[in-house]
Amino acid sequence: MATKADTAALPAEPAAGSTFPLLVLIAGWLIPGAGHLILGKWVRALLLAAAILAMFIIGVALGGKLYSPNTGEPLDILGFLGDLGAGLPFIIGRFSGLGQAPVLTAVADYGTKFISIVGLLNIVAAIDAHSIAIGRKPA
């Protein structure tokens, strides 16, 4: 029989069919750190947002490339999928014409890698927020 202390340590179970975890996942993907912010983990949210956005801004400032989905090159499509993980920063950057110059220097290539890594890190952060929301990870 579970004691009061045992039940207090368990993560909150979302209601069946709840859209809240999905909202956390999508918010965390679109805005870095937003998933954790919705869950009330504002320190984690600030650190995640700072790390992810700083890396994205540095990547763009280095002359990194924001990939297009329709070049027909398989590696470009993979790069686009990686970049897309960054959410709104990538979408805003893409539509405002950032990262369209050809990558001709090693520094610009670092920038391209930074942006791809940002996308992957943001996906990890969004999934972590989702795991907390569904109770798979302790809050």
Partner 1 sequence: MTLSHFSAVLICAACIGIVFGITQRAEPKMMIRFGAYTFVVLVAVTIAASWGMWLIKH
Positions in 96-125 near partner 1 (CB under 8 A): 106-107, 110, 113-114, 117, 121, 124-125
Under 8 Å between Cβ of 63 and 107? yes
Under 8 Å between Cβ of 62 and 110? yes
Q: How far is the CB of 1 from partner 1 (least distance, A)?
A: 26
DSSP 15-46: PTT-SHHHHHHHHHHHSTTHHHHHTT-HHHHH
Q: Give the separation between CA 137 and CA 24, rounded to whole angstroms.
A: 14
Cα 49 → chain centroid: 9
From 19-27, 60-68, 69-77, 80-88, span contacting partner 1 (CB under 8 A)? 60-68
For residues 17 to 56, the per-residue mask of contacts with partner 1, x marking binding by CB under 8 A and - elsewhere, is -------------------x-------x--xx-xxx-xx-
Number of residues that bind partner 1 (CB under 8 A): 26
- Which chain residues interact with partner 1 by CB under 8 A? 36, 44, 47-48, 50-52, 54-55, 58, 61-63, 106-107, 110, 113-114, 117, 121, 124-125, 127-128, 137-138
